[in-house]
Chains A and B, each alone.
Chain A
Amino acid sequence: MGKPIKIVLAGEGGQGVQSVAEILAEAANEKGREALYIPNFGVEQRGGVSVAYLQIGDEKIGAPKFQTADIVIALSDRAVTRTRKYVGPETVFVYDSGIENIKDELPTNTNKIYAIPAIEVSKKELHPRVFNVIIMGAVLKATGVVAMDDAKKAIEKKLGYKFEKNPELREMNFKAMDRGAELVADLS
Chain B
Amino acid sequence: MPEKPIQGEKRMFVTGNEVVAWAALAAGAEIMYGYPITPQNEIMHYWTRMIPKYGRRFLQTEDELSAGFTTVGGVLAGRRAFTATAGPGNTLMQEPISMAEAMRLPIVVVVQQRGGPSTATVIYSQQEVTLTTLGGNGEGLRVVYSTATHQELFDYTIKSFNTAWKYRFPTFVLGDGYQAKMRESLMFYDPAERGIEMVPTDAYVGRPGMPGVDRAPTHMRNTYNMEEELYDVLQGYLADFAKAAPEIAEHEAFDTEDADLVIISHGVVSRACKMAVRELREQGYKVGYFRPITLRPMPEKAMREMAGKAKQLLVVESAQGQLDRLVKEVIYGSTAEMLSLFKPGVGVTSEEVITRVKEIKG
**Shortest beta-carbon contacts, A-B, top 5:** A62-B275, A63-B272, A38-B182, A29-B13, A67-B351
Q: Decide: B274 and A38 in contact? CB cutoff 8 A.
A: no
In the bound complex, residues from chain A placing their C-beta under 8 Å from that of B182 are 36-38, 64
A32-59: contact bitstring with B at CB < 8 Å (1 yes, 0 no)?
A: 0011111111110000000000000000
In the bound complex, residues from chain A placing their C-beta under 8 Å from that of B348 are 63
Q: In the complex the two chains form, what is the Cα distance from A26 to B185 in whole Å?
A: 10
A70 at the interface (CB under 8 A from B): no
A60 at the interface (CB under 8 A from B): yes
In the bound complex, residues from chain A placing their C-beta under 8 Å from that of B347 are 63-65
Q: Decide: A42 and B272 in contact? CB cutoff 8 A.
A: no
Smallest CB–CB gap between B79 and chain A, Å? 33
A1 at the interface (CB under 8 A from B): yes
Smallest CB–CB gap between A62 and chain B, Å? 4
Smallest CB–CB gap between A43 and chain B, Å? 6
Q: In the complex the two chains form, what is the Cα distance from A83 to B6 in whole Å?
A: 41
Q: In the complex the two chains form, what is the Cα distance from A30 to B206 in whole Å?
A: 50
**Contacts from B to A (Cβ < 8 Å):** 11, 13, 38-39, 121-123, 149, 178, 181-185, 268-269, 271-272, 274-275, 278, 347-352
A-B contacts besides A64-B347, A65-B347, 18 pairs, CB < 8 Å: A34-B184, A36-B184, A37-B183, A38-B182, A39-B181, A41-B38, A42-B123, A43-B38, A60-B149, A60-B184, A62-B271, A62-B350, A63-B271, A63-B275, A66-B350, A66-B351, A67-B349, A67-B351
A185 at the interface (CB under 8 A from B): no
Smallest CB–CB gap between B210 and chain A, Å? 55
Q: Decide: B274 and A43 in contact? CB cutoff 8 A.
A: no
Q: In the complex the two chains form, what is the Cα distance from A26 to B178 in whole Å?
A: 18
A61 at the interface (CB under 8 A from B): yes
Given that A41-B123, A43-B122, A60-B149 are contacting pairs, would A68 and B181 also be in contact in the complex, using a CB cutoff of 8 Å? no
In the bound complex, residues from chain A placing their C-beta under 8 Å from that of B13 are 25-26, 29, 35
Q: In the complex the two chains form, what is the Cα distance from A41 to B115 in whole Å?
A: 13
Residue of A nearest to B282 (CB): A1
A77 at the interface (CB under 8 A from B): no
Q: Decide: B122 and A36 in contact? CB cutoff 8 A.
A: no
Smallest CB–CB gap between A76 and chain B, Å? 21
A96 at the interface (CB under 8 A from B): no
Q: Decide: B122 and A68 in contact? CB cutoff 8 A.
A: no
Q: In the complex the two chains form, what is the Cα distance from A39 to B11 in whole Å?
A: 22
Smallest CB–CB gap between A123 and chain B, Å? 31
Q: In the complex the two chains form, what is the Cα distance from A109 to B270 in whole Å?
A: 30
In the bound complex, residues from chain B placing their C-beta under 8 Å from that of A36 are 182-184
In the bound complex, residues from chain B placing their C-beta under 8 Å from that of A41 are 38-39, 122-123, 181
Sample 22 A-B pairs with CB under 8 A, ordered by A number.
Answer: A22-B183, A29-B13, A34-B185, A35-B184, A35-B185, A36-B182, A37-B182, A37-B184, A38-B178, A38-B181, A40-B123, A41-B181, A61-B271, A62-B350, A63-B275, A63-B347, A64-B182, A64-B268, A65-B349, A66-B351, A67-B349, A67-B351
